[in-house]
Amino acid sequence: MYSELKEGVNLYNKKDYQEALVFFLSVSTEDVLIKIEINYYIGLIYSRLSEYEQALEYLEQVVTASKDIAKVYQCRLILAFIYANTGRTRLAEFELSKLIEAGYESVQVYSSLAYVYYEHHETEKAIDYYEKALKAAPENSTALNGLAYILAETDRDLTRSLLLCKKAVEKQPENPAYLDSMALIYHKMDLEPEANSYITRAKEKLPDNKIILKHFEMITAGAREA
């Protein structure tokens, strides 16, 4: 750690992001390596604060200028997350592909690529990458839920979908995304009481989520008609 940045790093580690941001923005230096480190932390802080456009500006500079491979990999992964969550999935795919090309293969990279491919309606690729993720880490809840959701939504294998999703819910019983997946699976299996129970819990936790609201209307509409 650069001694000049110790105070800011400590603030960041304490999750005092606003004060850390003020510190790093106030540091003036001509040292190229210290500038890269400053950009790195500012990018991390903005991403923590969900100020994604600002985060992109600084993280991209780190990817371009840094010789620290681990730091570049981390920044690419964060860039991919930001791009995926702001609708720029092709850019997310680019960053993730660069990681794989460089030999940085992990459950997180595989799962992120699977998500991106499914957003592009490339279902086979999405399934393939979720399978790779589960091969690397069979108990990873993100991959378990992701594959379960695709298998259910595409009516491919509801039995396996249910088994996978149950594992994810066992690990994170209050995760609204996993509850939503369970609701969809039960709905596809015509088990409406279970579907209603899970989608209601999911909606209570994320009342404004578009996908959950869509599934809530779909599932409860069937119950009203009955």
Q: Give tens-digit pLDDT for 117-127.
A: 999 999 999 99
Give the span between the Cα atoms of 206 and 124, in whole angstroms: 29
Domain ranges of the chain: 1-67, 161-226
8 A C-beta contact, residue 215 and residue 184? yes
Question: What kind of fold does domain 1-67 have according to CATH?
Answer: 1.25.40
pLDDT at 3: 82
What value does the mean pLDDT take over residues 95-119?
91
Percent of the chain with pLDDT over 70: 97
Q: From CA 32, how far away is CA 22, in angstroms rounded?
A: 20
Specify the CATH architecture of the domain 161-226. Alpha Horseshoe (1.25)
Which pTM was predicted? Answer: 0.79
Of 92, 64, 88, 98, which Cα lies nearest the Cα of 80? 92
**223, pLDDT greater than 70:** no
Mean pLDDT, range 109-116, rounded to an integer: 93
Flag whether pLDDT at 55 surpasses 90.
yes
